[in-house]
Amino acid sequence: MELKLLRESKGLTQIEASKITSIPLRTYKRLENDSKYKSSDKYLKAFKLINNFVIKSESNKKYKIAVIGMGFVGYSLGLLLSQNHLVTFIDIDQNKVTLANKKIEVIDDRDIKDYLSGNYFAVKSTDYSNYDVVFIALPTNYDEHSKTFDTKDIILEINKIRSQNKDCPIVIKSTVDIGFTNSLNDSNIFYSPEFLKEGTAIKDSLYPDRIILGINSKASKTKQIVKLLKSVCVNNAPILLMSYQEAEAVKLFSNSYLALRVAFFNEIDSFVEDHNLDSKNVILGMSLDKRIGDYYNNPSFGFGGYCLPKDTVVAAKNVDSDVFNSISESNNRRINHVFQKIVEILLLKNEKKEEITIGFYNLNAKQGVKNSRSSSSAILKEMFEKEGYNTYVYDGDFNKLENCDIVLSNRLSKELEPIKDKVYSRDLFKLN
């Protein structure tokens, strides 16, 4: 982050920054305005002192915050905010409300237990008149009819908030289409996309790669929101202020690129498998090029989950390019490739379909997370059942899994070692 942006995001004038850093005002202005000073000791000193000063000065300021939606985005954010503020969770799911009020974790996250003692409670509905800030983290599923995200619940909540509280800033964390936030015509609404991974939402919130904030040029409470977002993370993540549309585009295009990368390496793996080559050699040989990178390159049955499938489709609608349109097509092609490979293996058994059982180690879209929505394994299970095969999803009875004719596992596990000869997986690097 630039020194000037850091100072402004903390609500400081140049005179105040000069006093905090003990750097003469004229010299301090040079640090902000002249790029040649960026690597100087004075610049680094000023950056560190301003950053530390703001953290200390804000630590005792308490906000009354509402977080609408207790999915992994809203829940993780609310828990972290509750370490220094009073947080009210709002969710229509009574089970989540009950668990939260009993200080029992609502989502699967390896670090969640460390933050359950925060100052928060949960309700199904609330009066918004006394809140200082409201965060909206509601799900936005893909609507087949409108070919975009279903945002009606977000709009309903915003209307309710504004009928009771005209002035409090509202921060939308949900994924929305490009242009949605601007269409609300409310300068005190902000859009801050999340980039969290299921299972590590707390860690990703504490150590974000960046904080994106879409703002209206007439917004009066930008500094307040920037400080609040910054207070959650412990690293010095860059904060980028931009227009609503730019922030919305960052979210959609980031997920589209990740989906594209998954699809790209899966396409390579399909080709290599068809030609009886060693996929691991090919991918490692490519990935050692620093421009490509040895990460996010492990083949799978296809991408799935809450975000990548729907975000990729909506991004393609916005951009209308062959590259974007081909991502979902490639993923479907990959799932069909895996299906055909399994059928070829099963044909060698010379058994009738109704006598064959295909086992699935799990149907999760992602390793370590109980979420099978749009997962490639769940899609494959339906495809095999439609063709007349029996299927079994591992539920802890290893004997049943062992008796299956073949076992599909998107990611390998040590638990599968005793039956590795009948396991089909494209997990080349055994990430677990």
Per the structure block, which two tokens stand in for 150?
A: 């279903």
- Averaged over 353-363, what is the pLDDT? 92
Running DSSP on this structure, what letter comes out for residue 163?
A: H
Q: What is the pLDDT of residue 250?
A: 97
Chain segment 271-300, per-residue pLDDT in tens: 999 999 999 999 999 999 999 999 999 999
Q: What is the pLDDT of residue 142?
A: 87
Per-residue confidence at 209, pLDDT binned at 50, 70, 90? very high
What backbone torsions phi and psi does residue 136 show, to the nearest 5 degrees? -110, 120
- Averaged over 133-140, what is the pLDDT? 96
Q: How far apart are CA 300 and CA 376, in angstroms?
A: 9
Angle ∠(384,387,393) on CA atoms, nearest 5: 25
Quote the distance between the C-alpha of residue 89 and its chain's center: 20
Q: What is the pLDDT of residue 147?
A: 79
178 and 248 Cβ atoms separated by less than 8 Å? yes
Strands 357-360 and 390-393: parallel
Active site residues: 307
Per-residue confidence at 320, pLDDT binned at 50, 70, 90? confident
Q: What is the pLDDT of residue 369?
A: 55
Same fold for the pair 64-242 and 255-424: yes
The DSSP result for 54-87, as a single string, is HHHHHTT---EEEEE--SHHHHHHHHHHTTTSEE
Strands 239-242 and 170-172: unpaired
Q: What is the pLDDT of residue 57?
A: 44
Domains of the chain: which residue ranges? 3-58, 64-242, 255-424
Per the structure block, which two tokens stand in for 253?
A: 């295009």
Task: Look at the block and give the residue holding tokens 């919305």.
Answer: 248
* Fold of the 255-424 domain: Rossmann fold (3.40.50)
Instruction: Please determine, looking at this structure, whether the domain spanning 64-242 carries the CATH number 3.40.50.1000.
Output: no
- Which residue, 319, 188, 190, 174, is CA-closest to 251? 174
Using DSSP's 3-state secondary structure scheme, residue 184 falls into: coil
**E strands of 327-418, at which residues?**
357-360, 390-393, 406-408
74 and 139 Cβ atoms separated by less than 8 Å? no
Per the structure block, which two tokens stand in for 381?
A: 């299970």
Q: What is the pLDDT of residue 136?
A: 98
> In Å, how far are 55, 112, 352, 405 from 10, measured between CA atoms?
9, 29, 69, 62
Angle ∠(370,308,359) on CA atoms, nearest 5: 45
- Which residue, 40, 69, 212, is CA-closest to 134? 69
Task: Look at the block and give the residue holding tokens 């790669």.
Answer: 209
- Which residue, 230, 229, 243, 11, is CA-closest to 133? 229
- Averaged over 353-375, what is the pLDDT? 78
Q: What is the pLDDT of residue 304?
A: 87
Q: List the single range of 141-150, 388-397, 399-408 with lowest mean pLDDT.
A: 141-150
Q: What is the pLDDT of residue 58?
A: 45
What backbone torsions phi and psi does residue 357 show, to the nearest 5 degrees? -120, 125
How many Cβ atoms from other residues are within 10 Å of residue 79's Cβ?
A: 29
Q: What is the pLDDT of residue 152?
A: 95
The DSSP result for 105-144, as a single string, is -SS-BTTGGGGTTSSEEEES----TT-SEEEE-----EET
Chain segment 23-75, per-residue pLDDT in tens: 888 888 888 888 777 778 888 888 888 887 754 444 456 899 999 999 999 99
Q: How far apart are CA 249 and CA 212, in angstroms?
A: 11
pLDDT at 121 over 90: yes
410 and 421 Cβ atoms separated by less than 8 Å? no
Running DSSP on this structure, what letter comes out for residue 296?
A: S
pLDDT at 344 over 50: yes
Give the helix, strand, coil percentages of the chain, each rounded to 5. Answer: 50, 10, 40
- Which residue, 164, 165, 157, 173, is CA-closest to 225? 173
Chain segment 303-314, per-residue pLDDT in tens: 988 788 899 999
What backbone torsions phi and psi does residue 86 show, to the nearest 5 degrees? -90, 120
Using DSSP's 3-state secondary structure scheme, residue 220 falls into: coil
Chain segment 72-102, per-residue pLDDT in tens: 999 999 999 998 899 999 999 999 999 999 9
Per the structure block, which two tokens stand in for 400?
A: 């049943």
Q: List the single range of 257-261, 360-364, 380-384 with lowest mean pLDDT.
A: 360-364
- The percentage of the chain sitting over the pLDDT mark of 90, rounded to a whole number, equals 65
Query: What's this model's pTM, rounded to 2 decimal places?
Result: 0.80
Q: How far apart are CA 336 and CA 342, in angstroms?
A: 10
Q: What is the pLDDT of residue 62?
A: 87
* Beta-bridge partners for 391: 358
Mean of pLDDT over the chain: 90
